[in-house]
Amino acid sequence: MAFSVTSITGYVKANERELLTKSLFSAKSISLATKMPNVKSASQVNVMDTDAVFQSGTSCGFSASGTTTFTNRTMTVSPIRVHESLCPKTLENTYLQLVLPNGSNPKSIPFEQQFTDLKTGLIAQNLERAFWQGDTTSGDNALARFDGLIKIITTVSGSAIAANASGFMAGAPYSASGGITVSNVNAIMQGIFRAIPVALIDKPDTVIMCGIDTFRTYQLALTNANLFHYNTDASNSNFEIVIPGTNIKVIGVNGLNSTGRIYALRTSNMFFGCDVLGEESKFELFWAQEAMEVRYVAEFKAGVQIAFPAEVVYYVGS
C-alpha cells in the first residue's frame, strides 16, 4: 500500500510569522532645512536687510545715512492626517488567522510593529517628495497638501538665478531642454557652481541639491573621468560629494528624483514649518470599541518656504 495524494492540492508553507515590507526613503531634505515650529496655519519668515554707507571721518558731527528694511515671507502649513480602519476579523479566512489573538472578537492586529513602521516610513517618504514637488493643484494627494520649494522658487519671478542662462554655460548644449547625462553632468555642476553668488560661496551651508538619479549620474561621470581620489562611493558618502576643486558639496535627495532639477542654496535658507517638531512620526493605534475596529491615526502640519529667493540658483533639465 502507498499514500494516495492525487485528490489534494500541494502544500505551500505560509510563513505566517514573517511579513516583508517594501523599501522606503527618508525625509532627508527636512533634516537639512531650518525648522519653524509652533505654526498653526500661517506665520511670517521675517527678514531684515540694511546697508553700511561709508562716509568721510575727517570732520566732527553726525550725518545719518543708510536704510534698514524689514520684509517677510509667509510660511503656510497644511493640516494633514492619515487615518485607517482595520477589522481584524477580515483576516480570519487568511493564513494570518494563525497569528490572530484567540477569541471571536479580536481587538488587535498581527504585525503591529511592521505596520506602524511602514506607515511612518511612507509618511516620511511622501513628505520628502512634497518638500520639493508639492503643488496644491496636483492630482497626487501626497503632493496636494502644500506647495513645495520647486513651485515656490519658480513663482518668485525674476528673483532666483537660472544657471541655464547664457554666461554660465554659454555655447554648451546644456539648455533647459537638454537631459542630464554622464557626458554633460560635470559641466552642468560646474556651471551651477559658477552661478552661485560670491556672497554665498564661502558659507559652510551652501550646497547643491539634486535627485538621487542625477547624483548617480554625476558619480559615474567622476568615475569615468578617473577622479578616483574623490570618494564616489554613495554608501560611504551618504549621497554627498564635494565638486572636485571646489568647496561646494553636492547632496542627492529623493525629493528631487525624476524632476531634472538641481538647486544651489544655503540649507539655512530652506524652512520647514510645523506645529510640533517630529509630529509627523507620531501616531496612535487603538481599538475603537464603538466601531469594533482597530484604528490608525496620525495628524500633523507641514509647509515649506524660502527666506531669500535671490540666493537660490536653479538648473532645469528635461
- Tell me the H-state helices in the chain: 28-32, 112-133, 149-155, 185-195, 198-201, 212-224, 234-237
Question: Which residues are CB-neighbours of 90 under 8 A, at least 6 positions away?
Answer: none
Q: Which of 61-75, 138-152, 224-238, 260-274 has the lowest mean pLDDT?
A: 224-238
Under 8 Å between Cβ of 271 and 34: yes
Helix (H) or strand (E) holding 315: strand 313-316
CA distance 86 to 109: 8
pLDDT tens by residue, 290-316: 888 889 999 999 999 998 999 999 998
Q: Domains, the chain, ranges and CATH? A: 28-49+66-316 (3.90.1690)
User: What band does 203 get if pLDDT is binned at 50, 70 and 90?
Assistant: very high
pLDDT at 79: 95
Global confidence as pTM: 0.83
- Please name the residue that has the C-alpha cell 494633514: 80
- Is 18's pLDDT higher than 80? no
